[in-house]
Structure 1
């Protein structure tokens, strides 16, 4: 066994030079596994953790873990399994929060690992009572509105639940699909099809490309996107590979979007779960005013932990698609066939009652249809207001006048549509 130990003095100057500090080490031929751990004073600093192999990126756990194991047929969640190829590897330290006085980070690398990598645990399935698509929202011929959530995390980054646990919550909330968007990794992608089939829900492959200047979701089975590169390269590379990039929670505390872009992606997570804290805020609309016409609107719960108030589907993004396969859902997004609904409260911790009765605003051809919105107010992008009367009310409105939303008399925003 070989054990490599190195102490890194992390200072604000080092952070200023490079947010992602690399600690190289050599893996000899025939090494069956590797183990990496870091130790630092977490009360004063926040240091993220990742791994780049000799042949490419192996994974990221951010601030969720301080160690990982990689072996031939298993790896710590967030990391890709596979026999370690010989050559120069790198421990990647994300210098997220560094005190003025600096902090020591002790890095320990064991070749081979001193323990096996964890194996995933099976999660019992949940009996499905209703799917969002059962609601039958009005749609164009050949299309159905499917209900889902475009932002969720598992143990493959800083979520607490395994993939099956997140899937089970999506089923309990009545969703047809759920995007799994773990931070800066695609280690979860290989498990999505099987877990989705076992639980009866479509799991979309995603990656939350996460930096201190903002986050974006890359959707599709397109491989890993390097978060260390300029954001414009994310936009261009995701498009080149046939995926979809969405800017996440553009107005959200210290996670707001401040990257510079010459050409923007086609989608934006305009309704993030943090909007539930102040549903009368028009800040997302103010930000959206800078966006080119035609952007696709998405919503995301950003689910991490079971004790959080939001559950998958709060808010719910509806996609008009030919079926509920991952390919069809993403094609619906690519064509801009989305709508977002929300509700201020959950019932018994799940969202099925709201999913089936929440006011909705969906586009059918050139018509915008308000469903279960009697007495609410339809507001366009210029602030013009129209009363909604009846269980279903149609309005012929140009997309150029959007985005549109439904509001109640207290100005709470209940639904969005482009």
Structure 2
């Protein structure tokens, strides 16, 4: 085994000069069986993210969630991609996220060889719910679709467009997260781990076990804003300008949403607008009479983006499950291609929860239909109107959306374009 240490002294001056610092190292020709990298510093004094690239491609990112990772030909720490440990110039990539005025000591240790360190085992996968996966088919699966009215040939499917696993800073494996979403009754779930696509390879097989449509995504994450890149489009380089993210994603056939645009230290600061907006995020969910997201939407100009919702689920310890809030998508079927195509064309609605009896507001043609919303208030267009009945049609609203359902105390219940 070979082992080398790189000792650095880093402060806010280094962050100002270069927020993403490469620590280069060489892998020799002739074959290396394993690579292990560890990062040590005073975590009370700084926040430093961890990632890696090889001479040819990005190998992964764990942000501030891990202090080590390991790579072999056939396995890797979640968040990193396994594969050949090609000879040449590699780099440990340090993200200088939170740095003090005075330098902090940082040690990067790089070990190679058979004793370099093992790859962590994933947690055991939970059994699939009854009637799913190997024990059932998609047609047999009990859904929470609730017979919502939809345009001809389409069905409303319930899902969550923002969630994380152990491939970034989540505490659940892909299988555990998928099981939680299936237990919730969701039809689809986007797995959007930070600055990595290492999870994409696992999604089809895990989704089949739990009969859940898993959508490939990446949360492109920086200090000045986050955006979800949707689609099996490869890795998006978060170190480049945000305008480049948008062009790269669109050229590859995906689409990019601005995430939680007004959330505290994760708000969107880039002078870039996309056609997709995570309007309802869990950070806002805690204060459902807040006006910030509406102000952001109004500031975007005449063109309204496609409205999305996301729980940003990381761990059950947060106290809410996937699907909080729920994004409804009117799609031809429950495949990743169909769900993403429906989102791309703006056939979305958002509600607090997926369950029966929860108010939902959907668009069918030019009409708005309020379902299970008796006694609520429809807001938007010409003002405020009381909903009277369990299924009420509001014909041909002319004004630009979004429209929303509120309780009498202004608590937000549902959103539609």
- Normalising by the smaller structure, the TM-score range is over 0.9
Shift of 1:284: 0.3
SS at match of 2:32: coil
Tell me the equivalent position of 1:58. Answer: 59
1:202-281 map, 5 Å: 202-261=213-272, 264-281=273-290
SS at match of 2:81: coil
> In structure 2, how many angstroms separate the alpha carbons of the residues matched to 1:151 and 1:178?
8
> In structure 1, how many angstroms separate the alpha carbons of the residues matched to 2:130 and 2:151?
27
Q: Evaluate the alpha carbon distance shift between residue 399 and residue 246 of structure 1 in structure 2; reply closer, same or farther with a 3 A threshold.
A: farther
Normalised TM-score (structure 2): 0.94
* Contact persistence 2:196–2:218 (CA under 8 A): yes
Shift of 1:310: 1.8
Alignment of 1:333 with 2:335, yes or no, is no
Q: Evaluate the alpha carbon distance shift between residue 297 and residue 132 of structure 1 in structure 2; reply closer, same or farther with a 3 A threshold.
A: farther
Say what the alpha-carbon RMSD is for the aligned residues. 1.4
Tell me the equivalent position of 1:348. Answer: none
Q: Evaluate the alpha carbon distance shift between residue 296 and residue 131 of structure 1 in structure 2; reply closer, same or farther with a 3 A threshold.
A: farther
Tell me the equivalent position of 1:406. Answer: 405
> In structure 1, how many angstroms separate the alpha carbons of the residues matched to 2:399 and 2:83?
50
1:62-141 map, 5 Å: 62-112=63-113, 114-128=116-130, 131-141=142-152
Alignment of 1:144 with 2:155, yes or no, is yes
Tell me the equivalent position of 1:33. Answer: 34
Shift of 1:120: 3.1
* Contact persistence 2:381–2:398 (CA under 8 A): no
* Contact persistence 1:9–1:104 (CA under 8 A): yes
* Contact persistence 1:379–1:406 (CA under 8 A): yes
* Contact persistence 1:33–1:83 (CA under 8 A): no
* Contact persistence 1:404–1:416 (CA under 8 A): yes
SS at match of 2:92: strand
* Contact persistence 1:362–1:370 (CA under 8 A): yes
Q: After superposition, what is the alpha-carbon deviation per residue over 1:291-322, rounded to whole angstroms, capped at 9, x for unaligned?
A: 24241111001111111122100000000000
* Contact persistence 2:280–2:310 (CA under 8 A): yes
Shift of 1:125: 2.2
- Give structure 1 stretches of 5+ with no counterpart: 344-353
Tell me the equivalent position of 2:315. Answer: 305
Q: After superposition, what is the alpha-carbon deviation per residue over 1:337-388, rounded to whole angstroms, capped at 9, x for unaligned?
A: 0000005xxxxxxxxxx52221000000010111111111100167x11111
SS at match of 1:192: helix
Tell me the equivalent position of 1:349. Answer: none
Q: After superposition, what is the alpha-carbon deviation per residue over 1:56-92, rounded to whole angstroms, capped at 9, x for unaligned?
A: 1000000000111011000000000002111100100
Shift of 1:389: 1.2
> In structure 1, how many angstroms separate the alpha carbons of the residues matched to 2:291 and 2:373?
20
Among 265, 277, 295, the residue aligned to 1:286: 295
* Contact persistence 1:40–1:104 (CA under 8 A): yes
Shift of 1:134: 3.5
> In structure 2, how many angstroms separate the alpha carbons of the residues matched to 1:48 and 1:400?
45
SS at match of 2:178: helix
1:358-369 map, 5 Å: 358-369=358-369
Normalised TM-score (structure 1): 0.94
Shift of 1:122: 3.7
> In structure 2, how many angstroms separate the alpha carbons of the residues matched to 1:234 and 1:400?
32
Q: After superposition, what is the alpha-carbon deviation per residue over 1:202-226, rounded to whole angstroms, capped at 9, x for unaligned?
A: 1100000000000000011000000
> In structure 2, how many angstroms separate the alpha carbons of the residues matched to 1:367 and 1:131?
28
SS at match of 2:207: helix
1:150-189 map, 5 Å: 150-189=161-200
> In structure 1, how many angstroms separate the alpha carbons of the residues matched to 2:80 and 2:334?
29
Tell me the equivalent position of 2:11. Answer: 11
Q: Evaluate the alpha carbon distance shift between residue 233 and residue 337 of structure 1 in structure 2; reply closer, same or farther with a 3 A threshold.
A: same
* Contact persistence 2:158–2:329 (CA under 8 A): yes
> In structure 2, how many angstroms separate the alpha carbons of the residues matched to 1:128 and 1:105?
50
SS at match of 1:31: coil
SS at match of 2:316: coil
SS at match of 1:146: strand
Alignment of 1:377 with 2:377, yes or no, is yes
SS at match of 1:124: coil
Shift of 1:392: 0.8
> In structure 1, how many angstroms separate the alpha carbons of the residues matched to 2:143 and 2:366?
24
SS at match of 1:278: coil
Q: Evaluate the alpha carbon distance shift between residue 230 and residue 280 of structure 1 in structure 2; reply closer, same or farther with a 3 A threshold.
A: same
